[in-house]
Structure 1
């Protein structure tokens, strides 16, 4: 029997990256690949112990903290030397920097997946420029860069991050099997009226995901659709601001913020519309999840989202921060039953291309190249 490929995954950012790794490990061919995860304290490492061959938790700061970062680098280099992986696979920008520096001069293959370029985020021009230069320099110290969408590859080529041959597109995948067998939450259980038109958002309550736009849209939607109810599945640093805005608009009785949940699909399945109003987006994992749950989508026309959602075909696209257009799109789905049915039928057929098994197969090919 051939020796298994030992892959050491390094991950700091939780959220979407965590879900990506969870699915990658679940469908991994254990006879061919040994997965070791070095993750931050933000991960549900108990869950990963059942999925990966080994889990090592390191305390990592999300922002730049020189003394803490140097300590992580030293520990990570020691781990790499000790475990001698065939591949070091770094996920997201902070872990990408950690892993590529820690691995300098060591004899293995290095793969980096930014899971959305940091320089595409909304921030000052100075910060964007800094991130571009960090990525350009760091690109010299890895063998392959995985882009999670065509838009991400186009960004890298436009900014001349590295030579085209170093880039490889592997679309994110979702656990279709798990979503299919997920039992929906009951509306009664959540305090949602049975006759409510439920408009939902799954994601981090952060600037990127624009929860403020969701609430401002909700105010307008409620005026047009009196039985509308709004469900936010997630948590984040803007939660206090979001709750304050909800109270300001007197929407408290028509709103539920669940916090983080283990089974977002169970909540998606009771939605009538699923929204992703991101200000920037490397992929938008929740979009194919909405599709798999049979929910019409309203999303912003930014970055990778139009690669997945075609306006008027399998969802409706709006400009970012445009809560008037967002309200109109939701109302269009509410009144036009044929449009809703068309979107659901198209997504039912097309969602299969986002199956996690394809991501696993393409990742294995990458390991063996």
Structure 2
């Protein structure tokens, strides 16, 4: 893509004239801008990568600006794709008459990946330290400070736990606070290494402050891990174990460490999520969306 926003918009228009596609599927806010700022005869399906105006850290003024932009762009949108009921509600709040359809997300880790990358021995073997993992970019949306607060509480309570952040930051300096507080930051990993890092985990704890629907939670479900998430709007309607504060998270993690029954219960929820957010359902829903766009 060219460097400037205007040149990217024009490059998109040229590509449509050249390729003459049946459908344009735009994913994320920037793609949504490039494809919808100017009208086109080709139906545009817009799939936000989280609505930015849903970010609790943004000021009221910026939220209003982003909401206004999304409203204007919605008039050049054939269908808005929502990953969750919350996202669908946000889309309809912009302009009640617009078409919104659901699309289940799917994990990046498949059954064939597990066969290829995991040893034939039992997947979750015994280890010395109870390990808590989070996957994502070290960025405000993922709220690394919340994750670190849980690690601080565990350390103050004398828990010899290993906290692991799987992922990295755009700048290495942004990872320094996590490392200073005793958290292992892996940096970005290839799939085999990601699976290996999750395999050594006893529990997956998602610390983000807002989401669309995180792939990392689905990957943890694909790995059959107990999952703990924050009480976020994106998880409404999903039967997951949710917490509100760092202290709540610590207590839940302590229950995972101590109680086999609690582990089994959380793994059952993980399997149910993996079944609901499956490739089969994703394929059927996507076919329906494209069929509706072409109708």
Place the TM-score, normalised by the shorter chain, in its bin.
0.7 to 0.9
Query: Whose relative contact order is higher, 1 or 2, with alpha carbons under 8 Å and at least 6 apart?
Result: 2
Q: What's 1:147 paired with?
A: 82
User: Deviations along 1:71-119, whole A, 9 cap, x unmatched?
Assistant: 11111111111111111111111110101125x2x32211111121111
Q: What's 1:116 paired with?
A: 50
TM-score by length of 2: 0.88
Q: What's 1:72 paired with?
A: 8
User: Deviations along 1:300-322, whole A, 9 cap, x unmatched?
Assistant: 10111233343xxxx3x112xx3
Q: What's 2:123 paired with?
A: none
Cα separation, 1, equivalents of 2:152 and 2:227: 19
Cα separation, 2, equivalents of 1:123 and 1:115: 16
Q: Secondary structure at the match of 1:146?
A: strand
Runs of 4 or more consecutive aligned structure 1 residues displaced over 4 Å after TM superposition: none
Cα separation, 2, equivalents of 1:284 and 1:71: 31
Q: What's 2:187 paired with?
A: 259
Q: What's 2:117 paired with?
A: 183
Q: Secondary structure at the match of 2:94?
A: coil
Q: Secondary structure at the match of 1:90?
A: strand
Write the mapping of 1:1-369 to structure 2, written as runs, cut at 5 A. Answer: 58-59=1-2, 68-102=4-38, 104=39, 106-121=40-55, 122-157=57-92, 160-164=93-97, 166-175=99-108, 176-181=110-115, 183-184=117-118, 194-224=127-157, 226-237=159-170, 239-247=172-180, 249=181, 251=182, 255-263=183-191, 264-310=194-240, 315=241, 317-319=242-244, 322-369=245-292
Contact preservation (8 Å) 2:168, 2:187:
yes
Quote the offset at 1:154 in angstroms: 1.6
Q: Secondary structure at the match of 2:141?
A: coil
Cα separation, 1, equivalents of 2:228 and 2:171: 22
Q: Secondary structure at the match of 1:115?
A: coil
TM-score by length of 1: 0.71
List runs of 5+ in structure 2 lacking aligned partners. Answer: 120-125
How many residues of Structure 1 are paired with residues of Structure 2 in the alignment?
A: 282
Quote the offset at 1:179 in angstroms: 4.7
Q: Secondary structure at the match of 1:304?
A: helix
Q: Give the superposed CA RMSD.
A: 2.1
Contact preservation (8 Å) 2:178, 2:184:
no
Residues 1:233 and 1:301: Cα distance change in structure 2 (over 3 Å): same
Cα separation, 2, equivalents of 1:207 and 1:59: 28
Cα separation, 2, equivalents of 1:213 and 1:144: 35
List runs of 5+ in structure 1 lacking aligned partners. Answer: 1-57, 61-67, 186-192
